[in-house]
């Protein structure tokens, strides 16, 4: 099984191939040993776990606070969006009602509604009445 050097496109010698295989096997063994040492129920690993248990609990608490804060922020954003849409709707209602009121309060509209009640608009200007006070003697 000959391997080619990808940099030079040349075949690797047997010595180099065995060196590379040995290096890979060593690294695999080191990794396995490291995992065994960490996961073994020896005194050192038990001591490390018990010593770092408060820190792990603190990290778990921070995680819960982070998650709850995120949920609260999302709920607040949804509420703000809902209230914004509601404000827009109410603004549209206000504008349409205001325009309708302006139309209904024009002089011609008032005259039409008063005519249906039997009232009519006065054609001559109002008369000013003056009251004279008599002097008592």
Under the banding of pLDDT at 50, 70 and 90, the label for residue 39 is: low
Number of domains the chain is built from: 1
Task: Kindly state whether residue 68 falls inside one of the protein's structural domains.
Answer: yes
Task: Kindly state whether residue 30 falls inside one of the protein's structural domains.
Answer: no
Residues making up the chain, counted from first to last: 137
Q: Which domain holds residue 78?
A: 59-116
Q: What does pTM read for this prediction?
A: 0.46
State residue 115's pLDDT score. 87
- 46-58 residues labelled b (16+ CB within 10 A) or e (exposed): eeeeeeeeeeeee
Residues 6+ apart with CB under 8 A from 39: 45
Compute the C-alpha angle 33/34/40, nearest 5°. 85
Q: Residue 101 pLDDT more than 70? A: yes
Under the banding of pLDDT at 50, 70 and 90, the label for residue 119 is: confident
Q: Which one has a higher pLDDT value, 104 or 13? A: 104
Task: Kindly state whether residue 83 falls inside one of the protein's structural domains.
Answer: yes
Task: Kindly state whether residue 132 falls inside one of the protein's structural domains.
Answer: no
- Asked whether the beta carbons of 11 and 2 are under 8 A apart, the reply is yes
- Asked whether the beta carbons of 51 and 57 are under 8 A apart, the reply is no
Task: Kindly state whether residue 100 falls inside one of the protein's structural domains.
Answer: yes
Q: Residue 8 pLDDT more than 80? A: no
């Amino acid at each position: 099984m000959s391997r080619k050097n990808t940099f030079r496109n040349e075949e690797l010698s047997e010595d180099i191939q065995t060196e590379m295989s040995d290096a890979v096997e060593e690294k695999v063994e080191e990794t396995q040993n490291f995992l065994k040492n960490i996961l073994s129920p020896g005194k050192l690993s038990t001591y490390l776990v018990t010593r770092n248990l408060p820190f792990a609990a603190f990290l778990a608490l921070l995680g819960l606070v982070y998650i709850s804060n995120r949920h609260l922020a999302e709920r607040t954003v949804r509420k703000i969006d809902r209230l914004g849409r509601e404000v827009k709707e109410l603004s549209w209602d206000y504008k349409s009602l205001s325009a309708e009121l302006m139309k209904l309060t024009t002089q011609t509209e008032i005259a039409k509604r008063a005519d249906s009640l039997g009232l009519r608009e006065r054609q001559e200007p109002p008369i000013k009445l003056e009251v004279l006070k008599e002097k008592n003697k």
